[in-house]
Every structure is written in structure tokens, then in C-alpha cells.
Amino acid sequence: MASLGMSEPERDALARFERDVIEPSMTGLVLLQFTATWCGPCKQLSPILDKVAADYAAKGVLLKRIDVDQDKMIADQFRIQSVPTVYAMFQGQPVADLTQFRTEAQIGKAIDQLLTQLPVKAEAQDLKAEVEPLIAMAETVLAEGDATRAATIFAQVQAIDPGNPEVIGGLVRAVIGEGKPDEARILLDALDEEAGKHPAIARARTALDLASAPVADVSGEEARIAANPDDHEARFAIANARLAAGDRDGAAEELLTIIGRDPAWNEGAARARLLQMLEAAGFDDPWGRSIRRRLSALLFT
């Protein structure tokens, strides 16, 4: 914006705009709301924008307001025809018109899309870049069977990023792998409702449910299977006992046998339990991929 021929108040307004909007937008995403004291819809929208900006502050989002009556020159530069008008600014330029969005969910969704497209720099992005390789390392260690070392790594990452549900979910599964279900349950019970909705936490809860089955003597059920291979109730009990003992291969074999002989047995109980095991293992787990292929072969061939 050229300052030639401006009055002193206009120069001051331009300096404030450059300091408060342009400069922060060089690295962050600035929500710029044009408003007025007499504007009823502005008064309804402003608290929503305040809430969104607070929620996204760590991701480099900042909210600034321009009163079109007090800073008419700035409003004229943007050719504001009505208020409220809301732009997203990045590197000194409007990158999106958010005026049409009037709810927290709509605005949040639009910001999420912008943050995936723009190289916004902020604390959250820096933290994500730091912890992602550590999470991947811990997952690899856990998949290799070293639950104690994986738990140590997850705990160290949690110290860096305490509220990360992927870290907490991984720590829970590692603790379960150590044979400490009570400790895992304490970690899960400490989560708030919103964190509990994350897929990583759902996966951890499933893992805990599977690990909480009591270890049982199934010698009687094994004798029943020897006499009648189609005794699916006995085979299902054996699968649960194998699972409780940490033998997921043995448990999966028994469940696959039931599915192969009678997929609909007990309203698909064997398939449901196997799917629980696969959820706990995770989509990228090599063991899980192998079991999924075998399950698909039984169901679709």
C-alpha cells in the first residue's frame, strides 16, 4: 500500500496494519475480520472467531480486526462492501475469503485445509516434525516385540508432547505388551472425552480389552476339539486363552479355523474377535496384513 499523499492518521493506520497483519502473515496465517460497532452479525461472529483463533494459535493462526469506520483507508484498499468480511492472509496476501463461514466447525474446516496447503510455521508444526520420527521408531520397536524399550521411547516422547493421542495410544499398547494392563487402564482413564475419540486411543482400548481376558486352562476344550473339530465353542475358548497368554498367532489360527468351517457361527463371533485383534495390531503391522489376506481368502473365495 503506497503512503504517498496520505494524512498522518492514515500513515499511522497503515503502519499498524503492516505491523499487526502483514508482518505476522509472513510466517503465520492471519484471520482478518472487517467489522463495525453497529454491525449485529459482526457481534455474533466475533466470539466464534475468537474461539477458533485460540484453538489454532499453536498452529500459527492469529486473529486481527479492522473497524471499517476507524480505518476506512484500509477497508477501501480491500474494497470492503459489507461487514462482516473475513479474509485469511498469508505472506501479505489474501489467500481465502472466509466470510461465508459462520460456525466454528465451518471455519475450522477451512483453516485445516489452508494449513495443509500453506507452509505456515508455528510451534505445533515444529513439534509435529520433531515427534513423528520418534513415534515411528517406537512403533517399529514395539512391532519387533521389544515392548519395554518401546514404552521407554513413547514415555520420552510424551514428555515432549503430553497431549498427543498417538503417543498415548502407543504407550498404552507398549505397557500392555509388558504385561501391565492395570497401568494401561490408568493411562486411558486419565484421558478426557475428546482425546478418547481419537483412532489411536480406540486402538489402544481394543488392545486392552483383548489383553484383559483371563488366562484359563483349556485342556478340556482341547479334548473336545480332538473328538469333534466342529466344536466351535471349545475352539473359541481356546482362541481366547491363547490371546490372553500373548499367543496371537495361536489365537488367530483357531479363529481362522472357525471362520473357515462356519463364518456365521455365533453371529460371526470369530470374525469379530479377529477384527479386534487386527485393529489392535494396526493397519501397517506385517502380521496384521498377513492375517487380513488369509481372512479375505476365506471369506471371498
Contacts of 278 (CB under 8 A, 6+ apart): 288, 291, 292
Pairing assessment for the beta strands 93-97 and 29-35 based on DSSP bridges: unpaired
Residue with cell 484421558: 191
> What value, to the nearest 5°, has the Cα angle with vertex 129 and ends 162 and 28?
95
List all residues 6 or more positions away from 136 whose beta carbon is below 8 Å from its beta carbon.
Answer: none
Question: Which residues, 6 or more positions from 15, have their beta carbon under 8 angstroms from its beta carbon?
Answer: none
C-beta of residue 65 within 8 angstroms of C-beta of residue 119: no
CB contact at 8 A, 221 and 229? no
Q: Quote the DSSP letter at residue 266.
A: G
Query: Annotated catalytic sites, by residue?
Result: 39, 42
